[in-house]
Amino acid sequence: MPLSVKGSNPWQKSSGEAWVAPSLLACDFARVGAQIDAVLSAGAEVLHVDIMDGHFVPNLSIGPAFVESVRRYTDAPLDVHIMVSDAAYYVDQFASAGADSVTFHIEATDCPRELAQRLHGLGLGAGITLRPGTPADAILDVVDAFDLVLVMTVEPGYGGQKFMPEMLKKIETVSATLTGQQRLEVDGGIDPETAGPCRSNGANVFVAGSAIFRADDIPGAVRELRKAIG
């Protein structure tokens, strides 16, 4: 049965400028609507949603029902990162739930190009990501099929981890493989201090969870990150 999908590819609406993508995994789920309003009012361009299955990564987090709820609440682009073992199954699940773009791990599928084509056929963005231990050349044969590459700057599975500076070289390497129409996202320990070096090495979408949602002034935290990335 064909999926009923109303999303649109957010990466086609950008031209390489730096974007802030607050990670809803770090928000207060009892106040998620108010906190979404706070980050969007401060200028965040996209909302990042981290999905964990308890298998591909040791933690278990939110699922399609959460994305459906957020989709009903806001028209802001939803950038869904699925840290799951069965990427092919969950691509359809989150596309149907209201994602505008789905990013899956190169380590979790043997058909990345086909999944990217599936997402594009639904009018959605397609992203590919690498764990810190996976070399950049693992995606070289398929990177042309994607709108976005996500370089994890911590080991996926938990929020609040310390940024891994050794990932800066990978960011630079991946950046050199991308066209001006593709985006390079970073996620893990991103704050105003770590975002600047990532930007200098080619990143242009910045996922931040704890640095934003655990700040006393959430809109102010978005603005501080914006200053750091220009």
Average pLDDT (208-230) is 96
Q: Answer yes or no: is 78 within a domain.
A: yes
**pLDDT (tens digit per residue) in 141-158:** 999 999 999 999 999 876
Instruction: Fill in the amino acid letter for 192.
Output: P
Q: Answer yes or no: is 218 within a domain.
A: yes
For helices 32-41 and 64-73, angle between their N-to-C axes, nearest 10 degrees: 60
Neighbour-count burial of 10, counting CB atoms closer than 10 A to its CB (0-12 exposed, 13-18 middle, 19+ buried): buried
pLDDT band at 230 (very low <50, low <70, confident <90, very high): confident
Set 50, 79, 147, 191: catalytic member: 50
Question: CATH no. for residue 141?
Answer: 3.20.20.70
* Summary mean pLDDT of the chain: 93
86 is catalytic: no
Q: Which domain holds residue 80?
A: 13-229
Q: How far apart are CA 112 and CA 161, in angstroms?
A: 28
CA atoms within a 13 Å half-sphere pointing along the CA-CB vector of 63: 7
pLDDT score, position 161: 78
- Give the whole-number percent of the chain exceeding pLDDT 70: 95
Q: Answer yes or no: is 5 within a domain.
A: no
Q: How far apart are CA 18 and CA 207, in angstroms?
A: 11
Set 79, 100, 147, 187: catalytic member: 187
pTM: 0.94
Separation in Å, CA 57 to CA 60, 108, 151, 197: 8, 11, 16, 27
Asked if 60 contacts 17 with a C-beta cutoff of 8 angstroms, the reply is no
Please state the domain count of the chain. 1
Q: Answer yes or no: is 3 within a domain.
A: no
Q: How far apart are CA 228 and CA 108, in angstroms?
A: 33
Q: How far apart are CA 226 and CA 201, in angstroms?
A: 16
